[in-house]
Structure 1
Amino acid sequence: MAKPGRIPDFRKLYPEASEEVIEVLRQTERKMQYQEYDLKMEQIVVDQEEQIVDIIPSREDSLERLMDKEVQFQEASITVEEVILQRLEVQRLHRALSLLSEDERYLIEQIYFEEKTEREMAKELGVYHNAVHKKKQLILKKLKNFLKNF
């Protein structure tokens, strides 16, 4: 790739290439320069008549540079509405879990809350892994139906 702002003479580099190919090479080179330099570099514009210097910031900036400029970032905070919706979802889930049988609830608790694997549960229950997987899928389907009705 050429230096910023300079497009190489593709006619000299590829004398046997057609004009269409040369034009595509020029356009591609310009697009690459735009992506690699124009977007990332701030530009200085000097107005000679009014003696004013304007700095146009880059469209893309690094985190380090923004931190050096002490740019403040907005915190990703949860709104009150989101907190309430989360609590309502948790309540609905607890109600749905309470409708499961003791065996079903135990399996779900072990897999999702105690982070046991299906294989560990199969070994503990003395059944095949596929049986635990199928049972888990049926329980999840049952929970989804419960949640739809709430």
Structure 2
Amino acid sequence: MAKPYRIPDFGKMYPEASEEVIAVLRTTERKMQYQEYDLKTEHTVVDQESQSVCVIPSREDSYERLLEQNMQFPEDADSVEDIAIRSLQVEQLHRAIALLSDDDRTLIQQLFFECRTERDLATEYSLSQKGINKRKQRILEQLRELMKNF
């Protein structure tokens, strides 16, 4: 696309192309111009009678252009409060895990901290996967109850 708002003569560019193809090329070119120019540029309208100038802002702007204008964007980072709350929750969770029996603590550690699967642990302990899952659910419920007490 050489110049904005100027549709090239596709008939001359592609003399062997059918009229359908030329029509599709024109439509596609106009859509590209709309995306590139119409949405992203502001337009100035001059009213000759009232001698006034009206600026119509762009409907879309690029990230780079907004940065050039020193536009500030909010960060997606967690707030200080969220970080503090999460830190307290992690501390409470570790205290609750410390209150579990050795076998339960080992199972939770292997499942959640060492990323072992229930199936893998079931094979190791000669139990069914469903048995490991029920035990895990019982331990998690026990941890929920312990966390309520802190």
**TM-score normalized by the length of structure 1:** 0.62
Q: Which residue of 1 aligns with 2:76?
A: 76
Give the match's secondary structure for 1:78. Answer: coil
Counterpart amino acid of residue 110 in structure 1: Q
Q: How far did 1:103 drift?
A: 0.6
Structure 2: distance between partners of 1:124 and 1:50: 86
- Could you give the per-residue CA deviations for residues 46-80 of structure 1, whole angstroms, max 9, x where no partner exists? 1413442413232x66xxx2234435432222222
Q: Which residue of 2 aligns with 1:46?
A: 45
Distance 1:74 1:102, change over 3 A: same
Q: Which residue of 2 aligns with 1:66?
A: 63
Give the match's secondary structure for 1:54. Answer: strand
**Structure 1: segments with no counterpart, 5+ residues:** 1-36
Structure 2: distance between partners of 1:146 and 1:139: 10
Q: Which residue of 2 aligns with 1:56?
A: 57
Identity, in percent, stands at 36
Correspondence 1:116-135 to 2 at 5 A:
116-135=116-135
Counterpart amino acid of residue 124 in structure 1: E
Counterpart amino acid of residue 115 in structure 2: E
Structure 2: distance between partners of 1:97 and 1:50: 76
Counterpart amino acid of residue 66 in structure 1: Y
**TM-score normalized by the length of structure 2:** 0.62
Q: Which moved more, 1:128-137 or 1:82-91?
A: 82-91
Distance 1:131 1:54, change over 3 A: same
**Structure 2: segments with no counterpart, 5+ residues:** 1-34
Give the match's secondary structure for 1:100. Answer: coil
Give the number of aligned pairs.
109
Q: How far did 1:94 drift?
A: 0.7
Q: Which residue of 2 aligns with 1:88?
A: 88
Max Rg structure:
2
- Could you give the per-residue CA deviations for residues 97-131 of structure 1, whole angstroms, max 9, x where no partner exists? 01110110111111111111100111111111110
Distance 1:50 1:147, change over 3 A: farther
- Could you give the per-residue CA deviations for residues 19-45 of structure 1, whole angstroms, max 9, x where no partner exists? xxxxxxxxxxxxxxxxxx9xx936635
